[in-house]
Structure 1
Amino acid sequence: MSASDITPAAGFLDLPRELLVDILRYLQHDDIARCRMVCNTLNSIVYDNVSLLHRIELGVERLEERAAGRFNSLERYTRLLERRARWLTLDWSHIEPLKPREIIPQSALPYELQGGTFLNVTNRSGQVTMNKITLPGRTDTRAQYTSHGLQFRALDITADPTQDLLVLLDVAGRINLWTLSAYKAHPQAATSILRPEGASNLFVTALHVAHDLLALVEFAQTMQVTIWNWKTGRTIILGNGTSLSYLATGLAWLSPRAFVLSDASRGELVVFSLENINCVAPAGSRSFNNLPACARLQLPRIENGWHMSYFQLESTPLLASHPQDRLFVASPESHIVVFTMQYVTHNHGRTSSQYAGFVHARYLMTFLNGRAAGEPPKVVPWTQWGPENARIIAQYDPTPTFSRYVHGQKVVFSRHHHMLQRHLLSVYDFNVHPKRVEAALHAQGKVRIVRDEAALGDGEGDVAEVYVGVVDWPTVIPRNSQSGLQYHPFVEAVESSLPYIESSRVVEGGAGRSVQFMMDDERLIEFNVSTRAGPSTDSVRVYVM
């Protein structure tokens, strides 16, 4: 037989099976999945190889995996499928109580949830204390509590446990860079205090860390946005007054060199890139006048006489590396960005409903490239981007009280339930892949899937009832209308259709209690707080997946 008698396909499939497996490993997960549909031979090769199956499912989940360590391919594959099933059906492995006094945030005092570590600042009888709680997980089921006295009052905090970094904004406006483990000056920071001259009369502040960059959004007399390289101590971006042409009420990192601002003056999501500027040791800082936006994504138009009274962003923290105790973490480009907003008339006579909007970070990142130097930002009306790439819902249930209710592509809400002494725990998962939908509807474990959320109850014995449904139809908010005592101020009906999977389960709560949730990639944290006078019956529980 000559070489001309052998077809390319036949020659490829005649290669040794081990070599075919090695070749397939170089493909992306969706390409490996497509190979299974080419012929029985390739389907059999993939089906019989756990590492290839694991590669496909890891891509479907949009997760990153740290070094395999002590787990082989089969163990990682099994854990991945178990993780998927538990989250989609809220089938937690166990529940651990926490000490309410140490963990429930005090009003107006800062807190943070990062990489399995919960931090908060308390002030009791003038004693200011930083509390650090290492949360229970699958392997270590006990919480670990430590505390450290502070010599100053803290306005805000953030952290990155993977860099042993703790950032504290004190009441004088100075930014302290400490180690999370020992509360000492961080050895990688060129200076232990950013902005040593301080700032006065700070009312609203928010710190956001992303690898080597640190952003601060703050309001005193005016809004100000500052970005530093915390390692070198250099100011990268400084915008305030006339050098900040946005009413910047929130910021979310899309990558270590890209972010989105919420502009409440125009009602826009504004996307910025830092890729082409020196973010390590610039000769001087830039203002926003010298940092053109990549794109301005407009929200739905509102009637004359209304303006935004609230506009905030929430997304997943960008840790510099994978937490050591975590096998899987959410891929940054797969993060969901939540934007919440509310409107009021100029005379404050009428208030709108509060709205929650959802958009994938990867969609916002599509605007990072393609703009020529000196070209103005692309202005995108809502009708050209929102209906297909976002979802906006009116929130009639209690809106989230705490931050950190978003992680990866999941968002957790507390919702009212018709049963007394009960609440609904609802997770909206914006990774709608056919494999995941199939897994959700045919789950195993200590849960029973129900098809009607209104029929959701406590379940029987050890078997809980869980509602799972795919929301793939549009949400429509009517134009210029009223819902009870609240109004919808939009010029046109707002239709949006970004699909998601809803999973809901009944939890304890009910009248006279506020039930709120935080989340990360391994657990849900429930804050169940009494709103009535009398002896404290507050509780905090961790649902470990």
Structure 2
Amino acid sequence: MLLDLPPEILTHILLSLPFTLVVICQGVNHHLLALISESIALQYYIHLGMSGLADNSCCNLPVSERLSRLLAKERRWEELDFDFDKIVKVPFGLNIHAKLSTGLFYGVSTNERFCSMRIPSVPDREVKWQEVYSERRIISSGVCVYEHDLQVLVTAQPRTLCTNAAEFPTIHEIQVHLNQLSTGEPHPDAQQATISFETHEEFENPYTEIVCTGDNLIFVLMDPDSRNKPGDQVYVYEWRTGQLKLRHSAPFHSYHYPLVLTADILLLSNQNTGELEYWRIPKNPSEPTPNQPFFILASPQLRSGNTFTYLRCRAEPNPGIRPCDVSKPFYTAPQHAIVVFCIGVQSTGFVGFMFFVHRSSLVGFLDKFSSSTSFTNRPRPVPYDEWGPPACRWINGERSWIEITFGQRFIVPPPERATGRKPLTLIDFNPIDVAKVLAAEKHRLQMGPEFHAMVVQAMDPLNDPDGCFENAVYSSLPYTIRISQEKYSFSALILDEESILGIKVRNYFPVHHRTVTFCQQEDEEERVKELHILHYG
């Protein structure tokens, strides 16, 4: 009989089950309840699953210490009670496009200087800025901190193909530099330290967004402010070998942020059509390159005369990420991450929206709507009303930074031009957290005075007073809301795995009021002058 097995073997069997089944097993009988409740390994396994985290097998801490750290971390996030705060001055003033990724804050301070800073995990750790200089103009940067210790710098050099000096350069030489983040030197795993190619259209000020995960380096090359309206270019390279796996040309203003769904599926949100396009990533450079998406989700239909000004998306961490830091006992599981889509609509004026959907839901739609998949002809887009309402949550608003989510959490940005101090508002889309708060409300559990949480789960219509969309947009993805006791005054908020970063900038003004989006003069740019690190673990 199963229950007659030695506790060690029974524990090993339970650890091979999904954590949800282990929780159910606690209600089978007193013997299993006692075994699971008293087992540190099983409690750690259950709490990892409930938190949407995964164990770091590289860490050498005992399981008891891992469990202790996990419980403390989750308590601090639930109560929005940080264990330390730290103010960091930014002496060189990173521009508004500074980014945060898995514990690294980084960006370009001048056209030739890349700066980065690791967010401290303990209060007494000294903050050190690293700087990398380039002889060419840096147009973008990206990192893969956990998995490859990789830093990617993209530079552009114009080349004039005509003798008329009044003409704009017709092409740019693009170079992708693959460096080791910890040293700033060429990455030892890259067979080519620099990947080079030329644009084929009249780019005035090329710009790119980068994602690196697994073997793939993915970026979208664009020139969103160009009078020439050159087409967007999507590239997927095998970064270790420098071989090109995918190249796709699209009309001007099609794409911006690439989103990795799985190791071999890329999502591109099309700003011209409002469609979410699924692209197959070839497993190796010898495979045929796709020339069209194989699956498409449609966004809600805009009212006649309205247009999308942008459609950006982001989720962290990316699939395939595995931490190499032996000091971290656990990490956020990529498959559970929430994806944020930031949308701008030109109606009677500019209007901004955001909607959220789990990465796992976007992957699951491939099975749910398998009849809409096609690898030969352009597939029929699945209408939003068929896929969106139960899986999404829409809210009003848009912000300059898109680093407002990590895992399943979302930090609500402060109001534009807000005055005075405001509390932090954290939204959590973890369904386990939703269930816990609902259970607490139902059973009227005795909560401490620091507990401030509520659940939103209704099927609500989006507030659309400007009439951006043809029909009412419904969504019902449930979430919890927590509000801090402390109040703060920040220009912006961004979120990472362990911390909330409050940002103070110079010359702050809303993104849609800019006349030039990416290529402002240095003295006109918004500059980050100070970071407030609120660490929760």
State TM-score, norm by structure 2. 0.82
Q: Does 1:539 align with 2:530?
A: yes
Does the 8 A contact of 1:89 with 1:443 survive in 2?
no
Residue in 2 that maps onto 1:454 = none
Q: Find the partner of 1:468 among 449, 453, 473.
A: 453
- State the one-letter code of the partner of 1:80: L
Q: Does 1:170 align with 2:155?
A: yes
CA RMSD of aligned residues (A): 3.0
Residue in 1 that maps onto 2:353 = 355
Going from structure 1 to structure 2, the CA distance change for 1:196 and 1:217 (only over 3 Å counts) comes to closer
Residue in 2 that maps onto 1:305 = 305
Does the 8 A contact of 1:113 with 1:404 survive in 2?
yes
* Alignment size in residue pairs: 484
Q: Find the partner of 1:205 among 197, 200, 208.
A: 208
Q: Does 1:256 align with 2:241?
A: no
Q: Does 1:335 align with 2:340?
A: no
SS at match of 1:238: strand
Distance (Å, rounded) in 2 between the aligned partners of 1:238 and 1:420: 46
Does the 8 A contact of 1:298 with 1:379 survive in 2?
yes
Deviation at 1:34, TM superposition (A): 1.3
Listed as ranges, the matches of 1:513-532 within 5 Å are 515-529=491-505, 531=507
Unaligned runs of 5+ in 2: 158-173, 224-229, 510-526
- State the one-letter code of the partner of 1:23: I
Residue in 2 that maps onto 1:114 = 101
Q: Does 1:278 align with 2:265?
A: no
Q: Find the partner of 2:479 among 496, 500, 503.
A: 500
Distance (Å, rounded) in 2 between the aligned partners of 1:100 and 1:344: 35
Deviation at 1:151, TM superposition (A): 2.0
Residue in 2 that maps onto 1:73 = 63
SS at match of 1:81: helix
Distance (Å, rounded) in 1 between the aligned partners of 2:440 and 2:81: 11
Deviation at 1:265, TM superposition (A): 2.2
Residue in 2 that maps onto 1:383 = 385
Q: Find the partner of 1:225 among 212, 219, 234.
A: 234
SS at match of 2:390: helix
Distance (Å, rounded) in 2 between the aligned partners of 1:138 and 1:438: 34
Deviation at 1:507, TM superposition (A): 5.6
Listed as ranges, the matches of 1:123-138 within 5 Å are 123=110, 128-138=112-122
Distance (Å, rounded) in 2 between the aligned partners of 1:437 and 1:417: 31
SS at match of 1:100: strand
- State the one-letter code of the partner of 2:286: P
Going from structure 1 to structure 2, the CA distance change for 1:367 and 1:408 (only over 3 Å counts) comes to same
Residue in 2 that maps onto 1:401 = 400
Listed as ranges, the matches of 1:238-257 within 5 Å are 238-241=247-250, 247-257=254-264
Distance (Å, rounded) in 2 between the aligned partners of 1:493 and 1:326: 45
Q: Find the partner of 1:105 among 91, 94, 110.
A: 94
C-alpha distance after superposition, 1:77-121 (max 9, x if no partner): 22212211211221110001101324x5225xx533233222222
Going from structure 1 to structure 2, the CA distance change for 1:69 and 1:205 (only over 3 Å counts) comes to closer
SS at match of 2:302: coil
Distance (Å, rounded) in 1 between the aligned partners of 2:94 and 2:487: 20
SS at match of 1:195: strand
- State the one-letter code of the partner of 1:314: R
C-alpha distance after superposition, 1:374-397 (max 9, x if no partner): 4753531111111100011112xx
Residue in 2 that maps onto 1:269 = 276
Deviation at 1:238, TM superposition (A): 0.7
- State the one-letter code of the partner of 2:63: S
Unaligned runs of 5+ in 1: 1-10, 450-466
Q: Find the partner of 1:88 among 78, 81, 98.
A: 78
Distance (Å, rounded) in 2 between the aligned partners of 1:216 and 1:420: 38
Deviation at 1:504, TM superposition (A): 2.2
Residue in 2 that maps onto 1:457 = none
Distance (Å, rounded) in 2 between the aligned partners of 1:308 and 1:418: 24
Going from structure 1 to structure 2, the CA distance change for 1:380 and 1:314 (only over 3 Å counts) comes to same
Deviation at 1:168, TM superposition (A): 0.6
